[in-house]
Amino acid sequence: MKIVRKIIEIDEELCDGCGQCVPSCAEGALQIIGGKAKVVTDSYCDGLGACLGECPTGALRIIEREAAEFDEQAAMAFVTKQKGGAALPVDKPGAGCPGAAMAAFKTQGGGCPGSGEATFTQACVDGSNAGPSPSLLGHWPLQIKLIQPDAPFLRDADLVIAADCTAVAYPDFHREFVGGKTVMMGCPKFDGDYAPRLAEVFRHSGVKSVTVVRMEVPCCLGIAEATRRGLAASGREDLELREVIIGRQGAKMTGGLPGF
């Protein structure tokens, strides 16, 4: 069945076939065919445009036209097949990544105020305070792409690598995954591949453990895969890795990829 919806359009005159857009599409809708980027099939493209920022020539854009409905289950089965794995069951589409508001911090030597490093004194929670729960966050920034591999708050840290949506979906996220830990957050659907940055973090930071917290939706699997590849590239064999999966209604599950 076809409907009028948003979908990616590729200007073949502008496309130089560099392939930078391909990894940013978690659904596997883009491939390089005949030296140009192509949409494999309309039903694999969700129309959200995660690939737009990766194209150096501006060949990609979102348009509205008649197209087959987005089929997340078929798309993720295709992705898994391409990677040589087993298909993951999906009962219905699930996506969405809330943005994160930034507080202003002064930086050393200029630059974006929101990326300036800062460490905080964490609140002591003893249950005696009847007011709002105090923040347990001990550092800034939080986004994976903003944290430097040698940031001081990474040294000897229990590191939590969390998908953005988990902090909203899981009610006890702050208590369980923030207090006493260093947190790195991101969205693999919109930010691309984190593996190179995480490899540098593992190689240079001295973190002592890693917990990956992700949503159950298939596109969120990318943050766990990036962590595994980053660890392999770093040469670290002494790290304890754990994966926690959060359901769309906030339930916590355990599980993980081979090697976790």
pLDDT per residue as tens digits for the range 172-214: 999 999 999 999 999 988 887 899 999 999 999 999 999 999 9
In the predicted structure, residue 170 carries a pLDDT above the cut 80:
yes
What percent of the chain shows pLDDT beyond 70? 78
Give residue for tokens 């050393």.
Answer: 108
Identify the sign of the CA torsion 184, 98, 213, 24.
negative
| 66-81 mean pLDDT | 87
Question: Which domains does the chain carry?
Answer: 2-82 (3.30.70.20), 113-122+134-254 (3.40.50)
CB-CB contact of 194 with 224 (8 Å): no
pLDDT of 224 over the 80 cut: yes
Rounded mean pLDDT of the chain?
80
**What is the structure's pLDDT at 212?**
96
Average pLDDT (89-108) is: 35
Is this prediction's pTM over 0.75?
no
Q: Inform me whether the pLDDT recorded for 84 exceeds 70.
A: no
